[in-house]
Amino acid sequence: MRDEPGDAFERKVCKPEELAARVAGLKRPLVFTNGVFDILHRGHVTYLARARALGTSLLVAVNSDASARKLEKGKGRPVNALDDRVAVIAALEAVTLVTWFERETPLELILAVKPDVLVKGGDWKPEAIVGAKEVKSWGGTVHSIPLLAGRSTTSVIDRIRGKS
């Protein structure tokens, strides 16, 4: 990633192998969330702001392109490449640090950083969130944040394609 004036947000981007060291310097409580964040929209921004409000620092883990394709979100997804999705998330004020993961779930990252708060969108029941059992085992909390109705990347793509 570039390091030019105006690109200070890219300092928030952290390679997975450097994550433990970077997280050690963050203020707690640490909130962890993850997702594809393909085409950023108001629902994402609201969700991330609400997640950050649950702690002092917010770590966002983004699915790699291959990991996102395994989720079968639709043909041609993700639309935006990983480095672009990570950069856009890093530019958000609510986000403290952003990384990515190659596996189908971020469990390995959750175990490495031991967040105090684990968060996913309202389409997830807290007990079904990957890492919930582990976060609760070390005294953390798990939250499902309500989604904004009608706000999704799929609906944006459908409108662009003239499907709705």
pLDDT in tens, 20-38: 999 999 999 999 999 999 9
Q: Please give the share of the chain, as a percent, with pLDDT higher than 70.
A: 86
Instruction: List 98's β-bridge partners, or say none.
Output: 13, 60
Instruction: List 63's β-bridge partners, or say none.
Output: 101
- For residue 22, the model assigns a pLDDT of 97
Q: Which residue type does 17 have?
A: E
Domains of the chain in sequence order: 8-160 (3.40.50.620)
- For residue 80, the model assigns a pLDDT of 94
- For residue 150, the model assigns a pLDDT of 59
pTM of the predicted model, to two decimals? 0.88
